[in-house]
């Protein structure tokens, strides 16, 4: 089991959060806890479990400041079963140096978006790669 110490932002104030990750067979379980929020998500793929947490937080008007919530971070198929994903730059091929742990904290609030924003960025990045 691993624990990550993060911040959340509700549009007005920052507050502390933790995410605990554990495995149950082939599934990963992520438990988000703050003073006011407790939410558990599970999936075979860590990134998809994190997206379930992010969607829940979106409904609460809360952003989670971790790499996996950045619009420019998305895993390749190869890394779907891990906690690693690429930090994507438009027009650039993703390389090993671009890998980040999706549950590690980030302080770049301006890069945090919705799950839909993240999907749109990833689709645009893919399209740019095909046009080269």
What average pLDDT score do residues 80-99 get? 92
Decide: helix, strand or coil at residue 32: strand
- Domain around 124: 2-131
Residue 29, Cβ density class (10 Å: 0-12 exposed, 13-18 middle, ≥19 buried): middle
Summarised one tens digit per residue, pLDDT across range 16-30 is 999 999 998 899 999
Nearest to 18 by CA among 35, 33, 37, 28: 33
* pTM (predicted TM-score): 0.93
Summarised one tens digit per residue, pLDDT across range 68-81 is 999 999 998 888 88
Q: Please give the structure tokens belonging to residue 18.
A: 């933790």
Number of domains in the chain: 1
């Amino acid at each position: 089991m691993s624990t990550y110490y993060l911040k959340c932002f509700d549009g007005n104030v920052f507050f502390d959060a933790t995410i605990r990750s554990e495995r149950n067979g082939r599934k990963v379980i992520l438990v988000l806890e703050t003073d006011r929020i407790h939410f558990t998500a599970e999936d075979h793929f860590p990134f998809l479990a994190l997206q379930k947490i992010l969607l829940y937080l979106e409904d609460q008007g809360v952003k989670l400041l971790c790499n996996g919530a950045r619009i420019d971070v998305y895993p390749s198929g190869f890394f779907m079963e891990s906690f690693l994903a690429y930090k994507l730059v438009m027009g650039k091929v993703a390389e090993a140096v671009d890998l980040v742990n999706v549950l590690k904290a980030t302080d770049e609030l301006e890069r945090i978006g919705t799950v839909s924003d993240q999907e749109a960025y990833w689709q645009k990045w893919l399209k740019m790669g095909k046009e080269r």
